């Protein structure tokens, strides 16, 4: 995470100044120290919401495969129902599915019975593909204690994010790339494969993933969403 990185960088700088190493060696020390202390083994957690999203999903699957990346797809139940082939394609590529409700309401406006229906209906649909679905992401990130109770009752864990690319607003490829390049191991990055044209998201992934790999990072399914080993 970023704080750890700052501390490590600061520590390396102090050590570096004591040893009077060259800048090149100091950089090497930072790199090694970050990796040795990283409980995440270099893994960044990419997540994609609101799909399946037609050709956007196909293109994202392609760029993930090209970078040996695994990710978590928080699908909307009714989108998944309309496009079973793409649900299967995501699963067949080794990614995880997450529950993102049936039709994307603000869960905090619903009764408990409606919450249970939103989660349960989507869960049944996704599981009909043979998926093990272990996590739930509330639309708009909106939750309260009743939403949490419904999530837990469905046997799911709430999976939020800590890095938001804001790709849904189509802020430009560079803006999305910048957020991606700021990610460090343990970060959960929010992106979208559904909800409209995602060509900026695809282009940003094509640029950023190889650069993150260059830093020694990799991309995996979040621990909360991972299928039971």
Q: Which residues contact Zn ion by CB under 5 A?
A: 49-50, 139
Q: State the angle between helix axes of 199-214 and 173-181 in degrees (0 to 180), rounded to the nearest 10.
A: 30
The CB-of-112 to Zn ion minimum distance in angstroms stands at 21
The CB-of-118 to Zn ion minimum distance in angstroms stands at 12
The CB-of-73 to Zn ion minimum distance in angstroms stands at 11
Choice among 49, 50, 83, 193 that is catalytic: 49
Closer residue to Zn ion in complex, CB, 184/222? 222
Q: Which residue is nearest to Zn ion (CB)?
A: 49
Among 186, 190, 210, smallest CA distance to 201 is for: 190
Among 225, 156, 229, 187, smallest CA distance to 44 is for: 187
Choice among 50, 167, 192, 193 that is catalytic: 192
Q: Are 135 and 72 in contact (CB under 8 A)?
A: yes
CA-only gyration radius of the chain, Å: 19
Closer residue to Zn ion in complex, CB, 26/107? 107
The CB-of-104 to Zn ion minimum distance in angstroms stands at 6
The reply to whether 100 belongs to the active site is no
The reply to whether 83 belongs to the active site is no
Residues in Cβ contact with 59 at an 8 Å cutoff, skipping those fewer than 6 apart: 198, 199, 202
Among 100, 92, 140, smallest CA distance to 121 is for: 100
Closer residue to Zn ion in complex, CB, 34/225? 225
Read off the DSSP letter of residue 109.
Answer: G
Q: State the angle between helix axes of 84-92 and 55-66 in degrees (0 to 180), rounded to the nearest 10.
A: 10
User: Which residues are tagged catalytic?
Assistant: 49, 192
């Amino acid at each position: 995470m970023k704080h750890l990185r700052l501390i490590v960088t600061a520590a390396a700088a102090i050590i570096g100044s004591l040893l009077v190493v060259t800048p090149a060696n100091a950089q090497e020390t930072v790199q090694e120290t970050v990796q040795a202390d990283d409980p995440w083994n270099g893994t960044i957690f990419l997540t994609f919401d609101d799909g399946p999203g037609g050709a956007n999903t196909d293109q994202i699957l392609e760029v993930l495969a090209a970078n040996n990346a695994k990710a978590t797809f928080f699908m909307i139940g009714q989108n998944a129902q309309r496009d079973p082939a793409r649900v299967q394609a995501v699963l067949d590529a080794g990614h995880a599915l997450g529950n993102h409700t049936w039709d994307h309401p603000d869960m905090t406006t619903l009764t408990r019975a409606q919450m249970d229906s939103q989660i349960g209906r989507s869960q049944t649909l996704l599981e009909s593909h043979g998926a093990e679905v272990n996590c739930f992401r509330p639309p708009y990130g909106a939750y309260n204690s009743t939403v949490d109770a419904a999530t837990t009752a469905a046997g799911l864990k709430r999976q939020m994010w800590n890095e938001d690319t804001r790709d849904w607003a189509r802020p430009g490829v560079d803006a999305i790339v910048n957020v991606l390049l700021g990610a460090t191991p343990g970060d959960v990055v929010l992106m979208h494969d559904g909800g409209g044209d995602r060509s900026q998201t695809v282009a940003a992934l094509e640029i950023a993933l190889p650069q993150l790999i260059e830093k020694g990072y990799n991309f995996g399914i979040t621990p909360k969403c991972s299928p039971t080993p």
